[in-house]
Amino acid sequence: MDLNNLDPIFKPKSMAVIGVSTKRPLFPGTIIYNKNLHEFPVEVYAVNEKGGLIEGNTVYKHISDVPTDLDLAVIIIKAKQVPQELENCGEAGVKSAIVVSGGFAEMGSNGKKLEEELIRVAYKYDLPFMGPNCIGIHSDYVDTFILPSERLATPPSGNVAVVSQSGGVLIDQILSKFHEREIGVRAAANIGNKALITEINLLNYFNKDPKVDTIVFYNEGFKKNTGREFVQLAKQMKKDIIILKGGKSKFGAKAAQSHTAAMATNFNLIASSFRQAGIIEAITETELVTYTKAISFGLNEIHEGNIAILSISGGHAVLSADLCAYYKLNPVPFTDEQKQLLYESVNPSAAAIATFDNPIDLTGSVTDKDIENCLELLLSFDNVEGIVVLLVPYVPTISMQIGRRLSNIVQNSPPPKKPVIAYLPWLRRYGIIIKGLELNKAIPVAHTVEESIQMMHCLHIKGLKYKKKE
Amino acid sequence: MDLNNLDPIFKPKSMAVIGVSTKRPLFPGTIIYNKNLHEFPVEVYAVNEKGGLIEGNTVYKHISDVPTDLDLAVIIIKAKQVPQELENCGEAGVKSAIVVSGGFAEMGSNGKKLEEELIRVAYKYDLPFMGPNCIGIHSDYVDTFILPSERLATPPSGNVAVVSQSGGVLIDQILSKFHEREIGVRAAANIGNKALITEINLLNYFNKDPKVDTIVFYNEGFKKNTGREFVQLAKQMKKDIIILKGGKSKFGAKAAQSHTAAMATNFNLIASSFRQAGIIEAITETELVTYTKAISFGLNEIHEGNIAILSISGGHAVLSADLCAYYKLNPVPFTDEQKQLLYESVNPSAAAIATFDNPIDLTGSVTDKDIENCLELLLSFDNVEGIVVLLVPYVPTISMQIGRRLSNIVQNSPPPKKPVIAYLPWLRRYGIIIKGLELNKAIPVAHTVEESIQMMHCLHIKGLKYKKKE
């Protein structure tokens, strides 16, 4: 059974939803059926042993009654009925399945037996399935999340693939926040108990997808031996891999055990190997989002951590400097010649009160042109690997064009491009600056000063994987 | 000179802006003049040695020409001219001043001499001033920030006073974010070089203001000996004090030195005494905001760190448990009896798959009533000091009324009230739930899981100041 070819799951032409209700429009199976019927290109069929109609559409009593070859069956019925239904799918020649139902290994030994039964059936019919105890997947082709679209916040299409052990974390901590930060997603999966399809398979699958550049994981513990395999595989891959681990603490491990039957003991053993394999570990939910933003923009890594910070507020310069100490980044000291160049590049009234040490504080007397000039200089400095611009655009001498003006500079800079990251207050009125900065993925925008330093930190972690270009 | 009575600065009936331009509407002095003329109750006069008109209004050539008694003069002219102008203000009987101009102690020894000259003049005329090198203050009565209102995000009126050494941090990191999180502000001040008026005076002033409950500081270093005085004063006060310190690291201290002539060496010496004095130290910009939100809601402190977490997503439960380990909070183990009560309080299909260990995971089969019932039980448990509700409202069985329903429960709970904090995804569509939760300051809403645990952590820090109620 090839568990690495997941096209029938992520790009099905046809699918059945087993477990709809003809009476309750907010019944989970009915939600999945209606969502795909009206919002996705997949051809979708409803199945319930009682038959009937949903808004005039046939509900088939048996999976074998569905009048087409099925790529995917989504199963959302009582746990004890699932093995038989999976058997029915196998008999009917269905190519893949997602078992949404809970009540398996996460519920103890009886559930564990049911789960083993599912695996047996899958091998018997060469029928790979995702789950159980999961909310399934989202792609441009299909969406099996058991939640109405109006409750969800869906990110734009893009180059990031997401694999989460938790459905709640996938929807709320990842996809909602990616929506908020406009991080583009190619496909997302909640693998739940991962009885059969594991992180390894999804890593292999997304590694082969040319439209995926970054693969993001939320993991509460690997199954026996798969942790090591995961790290080995990641090490060989050119794509960027970011992981948030849940259940690392004593309290968390206990909670993870009852949540997805996660085995926490193996977990800490392999954690230290992540860095060596070039896997970027996010420690907090916020880091997961900021790291993914920076990485999905395709920014080059940095190696020494030597950065420049360009601020127009002294306080922001101070806060960012403190954060550099925490995140082990080095605001490089400028030479006297560099300081002189910076001094000469800004208007005299700003120059008179500005600070040209690193972090630079151009003060509130700054103009668009001053910021442009400084950024161009910093990009040309040999001792600077990357630049953080702290853009506090409250002074009227900074225009709404500043975003576009800075992204033009970055786009026109010669390769290998140095990464530039911006902080901008997250106010609706400054949305046009954010759009300008992020145009053509030139400069990712962080919404706190800490996030901007986090983003640079993550490029530094990435630098551990790649040798410095000579 | 009484530096603790700052009414002429924060509640002036009349003020002059010294340093307007009749030609440039975006000249800083002109911005301050126009803003107060059109948007604030204060009577405002423009002063410039050349005289003239601004949109038909007289520009007075000399402060003594202004035809009224002045509570406040805002001075925004070249540094070297400021001492003479302050002298003029003294002669004219002006009661207080804000020196916006930079170019003083932060620029080295010559500037330091100018600053000393200002102090001499102030004592001569009994004329307290704020600054120099500051953007001044904002209150319901007046706003001297040198930025147009359309660029700023102003929080609602409320019970928080803010004192910042940096203008940029005040506007962007504090007031903009307080606006975003709807944290109400009574008054805000940027004290800049604090040549005369220091944190001590503002602490005394706001301590006497019955409309202020919480005082927030951003500080890059105290002046000689004032750090100890600040801590002693704070220790005696009943009001809550929150501080974010900039310049704590080697890099940051260097940046702070050139920013506001801050003396970092004294700083670390007193940092450890904050906790003992009951001062709540925020380590990051985000903590400053979340701590202020929780504290300004008037939530009771906790003493042992024994909390309950109520989640409807297993992954969120895991993440929050990990965060408890980090923030030294203890998800208390429930007794078998407590678990049974919780089990019986939720609908059977949720109960069958839910986890009633702490953190509780009610799963996506939850309803409004289940969450209500559990919250009521948790409030009644003797071993629980405070409750974090992780509200992931994507399932249609949770209604938009859930916020109001939970805040009703908290409001009707018997004193001493246990603090309840909620996490809710920060999506516009869920705004009505946030409004419901925060009604009558019942339940503050955090925008990340980490923030919700941070909020509880800050109530635990607060608990160090107060003895446990027997």
CB contact under 8 A, B315 and A393: no
For B349-410, what is the HEC assignment?
A: HHHHHCECCCCEECCCCCCHHHHHHHHHHHHHCCCCCEEEEECCCCCCCCCCCHHHHHHHHH
To the nearest whole Å, the CA of A168 is away from the closest chain B CA by: 5
Report the alpha-carbon distance of residue B117 to residue A441 in Å, rounded: 52
pLDDT score for A272: 76
Instruction: Using an 8 Å CB-CB cutoff, list chain B residues near A26.
Output: 396-397
pLDDT score for B267: 54
CB contact under 8 A, A171 and B396: no
Interface test with A, best of B166, B171, B267, B318 (most A CBs within 10 A): B318
CB contact under 8 A, B313 and A359: no
Query: Residue B355: closest CA among chain A residues belongs to which residue?
Result: A258
To the nearest whole Å, the CA of B399 is away from the closest chain A CA by: 11
pLDDT score for A270: 63
Residue B268 has pLDDT above 70, yes or no: no
- Choose among B260, B357, B427: nearest Cβ to A153: B427
Residue B247, Cβ neighbours under 10 Å: how many?
28
Tens digits of per-residue pLDDT, A200-232?
A: 999 999 999 999 999 999 999 888 778 889 999
CB contact under 8 A, B393 and A361: no
**Residue B176, Cβ density class (10 Å: 0-12 exposed, 13-18 middle, ≥19 buried):** buried
To the nearest whole Å, the CA of A81 is away from the closest chain B CA by: 16
CB contact under 8 A, A425 and B153: yes
Q: How many residues does chain B have?
A: 470
Please state at what angle helix B264-276 crosses helix B226-236, rounded to 10 degrees: 20
Which ranges constitute the DSSP H helices of B154-263? 167-168, 176-180, 199-208, 226-236, 250-260
pTM for this entry: 0.94
Query: Residue B329: closest CA among chain A residues belongs to which residue?
Result: A251
Query: Residue A147: closest CA among chain B residues belongs to which residue?
Result: B395
Q: Do domains B1-132 and B302-463 have the same CATH topology?
A: yes
Instruction: Using an 8 Å CB-CB cutoff, list chain B residues near A76.
Output: none
Tens digits of per-residue pLDDT, A399-438?
A: 999 999 999 999 999 988 999 999 999 999 999 999 999 9
CB contact under 8 A, B247 and A429: no
Report the alpha-carbon distance of residue B450 to residue A187 in Å, rounded: 26
Whether complex ipTM tops 0.90? yes
Report the alpha-carbon distance of residue A203 to residue B249 in Å, rounded: 40
User: Are A256 and B318 within 8 A, CB to CB?
Assistant: yes
CB contact under 8 A, A316 and B363: no
Query: Residue B133: closest CA among chain A residues belongs to which residue?
Result: A353
- Choose among B220, B285, B448: nearest Cβ to A449: B285
To the nearest whole Å, the CA of A179 is away from the closest chain B CA by: 10
To the nearest whole Å, the CA of B439 is away from the closest chain A CA by: 23
Averaged pLDDT, A287-300: 97
Averaged pLDDT, B430-436: 96
CB contact under 8 A, A166 and B314: yes
Tens digits of per-residue pLDDT, A63-107?
A: 999 999 999 999 999 999 999 999 999 999 999 999 999 889 988
Report the alpha-carbon distance of residue B448 to residue A451 in Å, rounded: 14
Mapping DSSP to helix (H, G, I), strand (E, B) and coil, where does residue B244 land? strand
Averaged pLDDT, A306-332: 96
Confidence of residue B55 (pLDDT cuts 50, 70, 90): very high
In degrees to the nearest 10, what's the CA dihedral of A304, A310, A314, A317? Answer: -20
Instruction: Write down the residue that tokens 């990191």 correspond to.
Output: B173
- Choose among B31, B395, B448: nearest Cβ to A285: B448
Confidence of residue A263 (pLDDT cuts 50, 70, 90): low
To the nearest whole Å, the CA of B107 is away from the closest chain A CA by: 8
To the nearest whole Å, the CA of B31 is away from the closest chain A CA by: 10
CB contact under 8 A, A258 and B357: yes
pLDDT score for B470: 46
State the CATH architecture for B1-132. Answer: 3-Layer(aba) Sandwich (3.40)
Interface test with B, best of A251, A361, A402, A429 (most B CBs within 10 A): A251
Averaged pLDDT, B177-181: 95
Instruction: Using an 8 Å CB-CB cutoff, list chain B residues near A151.
Output: 393-396, 429
Tens digits of per-residue pLDDT, B195-210?
A: 999 999 999 999 999 9
Q: How many CA atoms lie within 13 A of A196 on its CB side?
A: 25
CB contact under 8 A, A284 and B450: yes
Residue A21 has pLDDT above 90, yes or no: yes
Instruction: Using an 8 Å CB-CB cutoff, list chain A residues near B259.
Output: 314-315, 317-318, 355, 361
Please state at what angle helix A226-236 crosses helix A264-271, rounded to 10 degrees: 30
**Phi then psi dihedrals of residue B247, to 5 deg:** 80, 25
User: Are B131 and B192 within 8 A, CB to CB?
Assistant: yes
Cα angle value A439/A441/A447 (rounded, 5°): 85
Averaged pLDDT, B390-403: 96
Averaged pLDDT, B40-53: 97
Confidence of residue A267 (pLDDT cuts 50, 70, 90): low
Q: What is the mean pLDDT of chain A?
A: 94
CB contact under 8 A, B318 and A397: no
CB contact under 8 A, A286 and B448: yes
CB contact under 8 A, A313 and B392: no
- Choose among B107, B164, B318: nearest Cβ to A220: B318
Tens digits of per-residue pLDDT, A367-410?
A: 999 999 999 999 999 999 999 999 999 999 999 999 999 999 99
CB contact under 8 A, B107 and A353: yes
- Choose among A168, A394, A429: nearest Cβ to B316: A168
Interface test with A, best of B251, B284, B332 (most A CBs within 10 A): B251
Mapping DSSP to helix (H, G, I), strand (E, B) and coil, where does residue B143 land? strand
Q: Please tell me the least confidently modeled range out of A35-39, A128-132, A164-168, A228-232.
A: A228-232
Query: Residue A253: closest CA among chain B residues belongs to which residue?
Result: B318
User: Which CATH number describes the domain made up of B302-463?
Assistant: 3.40.50.261
pLDDT score for A66: 98
pLDDT score for A215: 98
pLDDT score for B271: 65
Instruction: Using an 8 Å CB-CB cutoff, list chain A residues near B147.
Output: 394-396
- Choose among A255, A359, A396: nearest Cβ to B26: A396
E strand residue ranges, B183-304: 185-190, 214-219, 240-245, 280-282
pLDDT score for A266: 52
Residue B323 has pLDDT above 80, yes or no: yes
For the record, the structure tokens of A48 come out as: 């319930």
Better-scored residue on pLDDT, A233 or B469: A233
Q: Which CATH number fits the domain A153-296, given the four candidates 3.40.30.10, 3.40.50.12780, 3.40.50.300, 3.40.50.261? A: 3.40.50.261
- Choose among B102, B164, B315: nearest Cβ to A246: B315
Query: Residue A257: closest CA among chain B residues belongs to which residue?
Result: B318
CB contact under 8 A, B249 and A322: yes
CB contact under 8 A, A102 and B363: yes
Q: Domain spanning A301-463: which CATH class is it, in words?
A: alpha beta
pLDDT score for B270: 63
Nearest alpha-carbon partner for A88 in A110, A65, A119, A68? A65
For the record, the structure tokens of B174 come out as: 């504090």
* Sequence ranges of the domains in chain B: 1-132, 153-296, 302-463
Residue B42 CA, chain-centre distance (Å), reads: 24
To the nearest whole Å, the CA of A212 is away from the closest chain B CA by: 25
pLDDT score for B253: 83
User: Are B407 and B400 within 8 A, CB to CB?
Assistant: no
CB contact under 8 A, B166 and A395: no
- Choose among B166, B172, B352: nearest Cβ to A394: B172
Instruction: Using an 8 Å CB-CB cutoff, list chain A residues near B248.
Output: 322
To the nearest whole Å, the CA of A402 is away from the closest chain B CA by: 14
pLDDT score for B82: 98
Report the alpha-carbon distance of residue B185 to residue B200 in Å, rounded: 19
Residue A470 has pLDDT above 50, yes or no: no
To the nearest whole Å, the CA of B26 is away from the closest chain A CA by: 7
Q: Which H or E run includes B30?
A: helix B28-39
Cα angle value A123/A127/A128 (rounded, 5°): 95
CB contact under 8 A, B361 and A259: yes
CB contact under 8 A, A169 and B315: yes
Nearest alpha-carbon partner for B47 in B6, B88, B1? B88
CB contact under 8 A, B315 and A103: no
To the nearest whole Å, the CA of B91 is away from the closest chain A CA by: 30
CB contact under 8 A, A322 and B147: no
